[in-house]
Structure 1
Amino acid sequence: MQTSWTTPPPPRDTDPSPAWELLLPAASGPPRGRRRELGAALRAAIRTGRLAAGTRLPSTRDLARDLRVSRGLVSELYAQLTAEGYLTSRQGSGTWVARLPAAPEAPVPRAHPQTSSAVTDFRPGLPDLSLFPRSAWSAAQRGALARLPDAALDYPDPQGLPELRAALAELLSRRRGVVVEPDGLIVCSGVAQALTLLGRFLKHHGQDAIALEDPGSPSEFPLFTAAGLRSVPVPVDTEGLDPVALAATGVRAAVVTPAHQFPTGIVHSPERRAALLEWARRTHGLLIEDDYDGDFRYDRAPVGSLQGLAPELVAYTGSVSKSLAPGLRLGWLVPPSGMLAELVEAKRYSDLGNTVAEQAAFAAFLRSGRYDRQLRLCQRHYRTRRDALISALATHLPAVRTSGIAAGLHLIAEFPTELGPLLPAASARAGVRLRPLGDYTAPARPTPTVFVLGYAHLGVPEITRAVAALAAALPDIPVSSVAV
């Protein structure tokens, strides 16, 4: 039975303007070190260019109100950074970001450049770990630990702390259209553990194979192999996983990334979603939805989860690896109701439950609204970096065609065929590492001119410099040479 869902209207945004959100984690820290943390955050923002030279800062009254700190603290902060040369101030005209001395940059040689010692790695799937909200997370941890009763420090419920499951159920329903109650959700150590639990469940119930997207995530193959399943690659076309090819495999379980397919960047079309659900109904099969990059959409409205259309045919999983940090090992699994009890027991005997302190901190982080704010912050940064990469390619390598740019943390770049034999040596000379699309196919297939470029972990200046250096190491190719 198809289940419809609606998203409630977003709450009224009372956050300060985007330019000052980068100071919010420092402002929420303990009072004793608040001025130091705010000063460090503001210095870093000026040094890295996130606050450009010549930017006029808010008045001390306005910034104090936005950050919910005292005006005296902001006045002291402005005075200190003015004395250090980060800010300039003139009576009656306000406070401005000063122009810092520029670090000298070595020119990029165009003729036979030498191999660079510094490498810019366009590795896909890596978030910007410097965006992790250390102060806000620390505050959430301290508050959560202070409130935890002693009994909560015993071995935890393997399904997850009830308060975290309640907060996650609300979040997933509101942001991703997932049909879930707190009792129907399992807290996991990331998507990897969720897939492992599902693989073992399928093996225990007589399945010996699972379908994986081709191209797709290379980490899935060893996870399911360890669970005793054979992985069967199924091709992805311009609309998503091919349902005809899927049916021909004879398998009864498949992993899909419908919101933003990795690595092609395809968003599964409504028709393709319907066809995959029909396959699951007809075969009494299971679709495992990895909501990869589902929260980061740039040029279109967010696409709701596949699970929301048919909760009994889809096991939904996701994590905070892109929004907070992979090292937290926090994720979730929403299985069909008939699978829940067995999966919870399997998790009990696999790890005796996730860390209580981290679960409690994440629950507090969600309830406070900090996680929504963190998603907005990441969205802005990643969109800026995506736009910088597209712009740099258009400027320095206009013959390169890009796709899969509407969401996520990476894009596909297709170089002209003539450049294929030249790219390995040119990228080495330029100090740029590129990942071929063929690294993500099963079996690996040569794709000498198609690459998966991750950009989320790279700053705008580094992206621009790397693309310019790569262009300098390659011969000019006219735009008309690209096949369409």
Structure 2
Amino acid sequence: MGGSDFLQLRAADAPAKGLTAWLTEGLRSAITAQRLAPGDRLPATRLLAAELGVSRGVVVQAYQRLVDEGLAAARTGAGTVVTGRGTPNAGRPAVDRRRTLDELRLPISTPDGVDLDLSPGIPDLSAFPRAAWLRAERAVLDRITAADLRYGDPGGTPRLRSELVGWLARTRGVRCEADDVVVTAGVAQGLALLAHVLRARGIDAAAVEEPGSRGTVDQMTYWGMRPVEIPVDEHGMRVGELAATGVRAAVLTPAHQFPTGVVLSPGRRRELLTWADRDRLVVEDDYDAEHRYDRAPVAALQGSAPDRVAYLGSISKSLAPGMRIGWLIAPRPMQAELLAAKHASDLGNPVIPQLVLAELLASGDYERHLRAVRTRQRSRRDALLTGLRAHLPRARVAGVAAGLHLLVTLPGTDDDVLLAERVAAEGVLVHPLSWHRRRTGPPGLVIGYAAHSPDRLAEAAARIGRALTPGGG
């Protein structure tokens, strides 16, 4: 389809702000009013952008919202095609739902015109091993019995728990048995279960890293745990400050701290486990541990003190966050309570995805996938790092050796929100470091690189340089 007549929109009526919502509503109305029928192809994004006088990024985002709502699909060789009719006012709940979801996440809106989202924490979803997953799923379906599909162990299928024991022992030094593992819907559910059990035991506060994961703080707060910020320096959390707080639990990312990228030093690790020896709990979020490039793997804390550490991990950064598969390995005195909380929460995770992941682990396909992803991510990191050094030579870049993001600090700046807004004006979305703080601290930008190709990252670095170099815009 060519042209924009079907929209019944006039470029002159476009609002100064909210162009994406305006265009999305126009497209949705055209489908609801049956000016567009299932099978109709939407205009090329460049063509529609030119006719409406908006950026191509606005059209791309509007089309993606239709895809998210099930009203359209992106098809190879055919562009974006209408797939549903909708009903009068069907779009309204979807708009409200999107607003609600945006409010539940970080207070970040994607500005109109942004076409390079370099938000941290987004993995390369195009690398999902579809062929290997399909092979494993077929193998599982060939063997599965009717009994396997009944309500099972709320802690997870025995096969996945058994495979995780071996995998985590080999790669992370985790010490556990299959009965110690609770399969969760990602790290988020693991945190929720731990918060529930800790509060039942009279513990209603936990130390968190500062700066640190906003998602972790939000999760703990939602489930009734008061976060107590402990500063992070080049050696990780300042463990020596824990005792003065009186808290009895601490949540850390020791292998690759978010967002600074530092590793908890050996001395701090020993100090932390000594602190936990007095009826206290360390919650270890093994964030990004599988993504390392220039350093040897750092063993999990849990292997040194299984009786004092609750270990959390997931496949969100290695396969896809939408799979919602993670694991929690807690000290044995807590396990019965955690299992009861998991059962009350959802009766257990879906069985077939668990068995498929177990098959991937057993066959070696998961490990082969991780090796391929590391190679791919290394080239992406190198492209972004090279570009930043070329276009922002005065910047300091940290967190290079591992993970899926970089932390960039610039001398002579104090307002990183303003810096991020200037970068967004160049079509690139990054996070101000202050969004991951609860206290004041040095400014910076947190830049993810996993979801884009090296050439796009090189382009992003050039745009960031233009935005942040005096006279470069």
> CA contact under 8 A between 1:116 and 1:430: conserved in structure 2?
no
Match of 1:274 in 2: 270
TM-score, with normalisation over the residues of structure 1? 0.72
Residue identity in the other structure for 1:139: R
CA RMSD after TM alignment: 1.9
| Runs ≥4 residues deviating over 4 A | 418-422
Identify the match of residue 379 of structure 1 among 374, 379, 392.
Answer: 374
**SS state of the match for residue 214, structure 2?**
coil
Greater mean deviation of Cα atoms: 319-328 or 373-382: 373-382
Gap regions ≥5 residues in structure 2: 1-110
Residue identity in the other structure for 1:141: E
> CA contact under 8 A between 1:145 and 1:360: conserved in structure 2?
no
Counterparts of 1:356 and 1:194 in 2: how far apart (Å)?
18
Match of 1:188 in 2: 184
Residue 426 of structure 1, CA deviation: 3.7
Residue 352 of structure 1, CA deviation: 0.4
Q: What's the CA shift string for 1:244-280, capped at 9, x where partnerless?
A: 2211110100101110000110101000000000100
Identify the match of residue 244 of structure 1 among 232, 240, 247.
Answer: 240
Match of 2:317 in 1: 322
How has the CA–CA distance of structure 1 residues 434 and 199 changed in structure 2, closer, same or farther, with 3 Å as cutoff? same
Q: What's the CA shift string for 1:360-379, capped at 9, x where partnerless?
A: 11111111111001110111
Q: Does 1:346 align with 2:341?
A: yes
Residue identity in the other structure for 1:260: H
> CA contact under 8 A between 2:420 and 2:431: conserved in structure 1?
no
Structure 2 counterparts to residues 83-98 of structure 1, below 5 A: none
How has the CA–CA distance of structure 1 residues 221 and 428 changed in structure 2, closer, same or farther, with 3 Å as cutoff? closer
How has the CA–CA distance of structure 1 residues 367 and 418 changed in structure 2, closer, same or farther, with 3 Å as cutoff? closer
Identify the match of residue 261 of structure 2 among 265, 282, 297.
Answer: 265
Residue identity in the other structure for 2:343: R
Q: Does 1:462 align with 2:459?
A: no
How has the CA–CA distance of structure 1 residues 419 and 385 changed in structure 2, closer, same or farther, with 3 Å as cutoff? farther
Counterparts of 2:446 and 2:421 in 1: how far apart (Å)?
18
> CA contact under 8 A between 2:153 and 2:348: conserved in structure 1?
yes
Gap regions ≥5 residues in structure 1: 1-114, 478-484
Counterparts of 2:161 and 2:387 in 1: how far apart (Å)?
43
TM-score, with normalisation over the residues of structure 2? 0.73
Match of 1:23 in 2: none
Match of 1:471 in 2: 465
Counterparts of 1:397 and 1:350 in 2: how far apart (Å)?
48
Match of 1:220 in 2: 216
> CA contact under 8 A between 1:388 and 1:463: conserved in structure 2?
yes
Identify the match of residue 122 of structure 2 among 116, 123, 126.
Answer: 126
> CA contact under 8 A between 1:119 and 1:431: conserved in structure 2?
yes
Residue 221 of structure 1, CA deviation: 2.2
Counterparts of 2:413 and 2:331 in 1: how far apart (Å)?
50
> CA contact under 8 A between 1:259 and 1:267: conserved in structure 2?
yes
Residue identity in the other structure for 2:200: H
How has the CA–CA distance of structure 1 residues 221 and 185 changed in structure 2, closer, same or farther, with 3 Å as cutoff? same
Structure 2 counterparts to residues 55-454 of structure 1, below 5 A: 117-281=113-277, 283-417=278-412, 423-424=419-420, 426-443=422-439, 445=440, 449-454=443-448
**SS state of the match for residue 386, structure 2?**
helix
Counterparts of 1:203 and 1:420 in 2: how far apart (Å)?
37
Counterparts of 1:399 and 1:201 in 2: how far apart (Å)?
48
**SS state of the match for residue 276, structure 2?**
helix
User: How high is the sequence identity, in percent, across the aligned residues?
Assistant: 49
Counterparts of 2:424 and 2:227 in 1: how far apart (Å)?
34
Residue identity in the other structure for 1:197: L
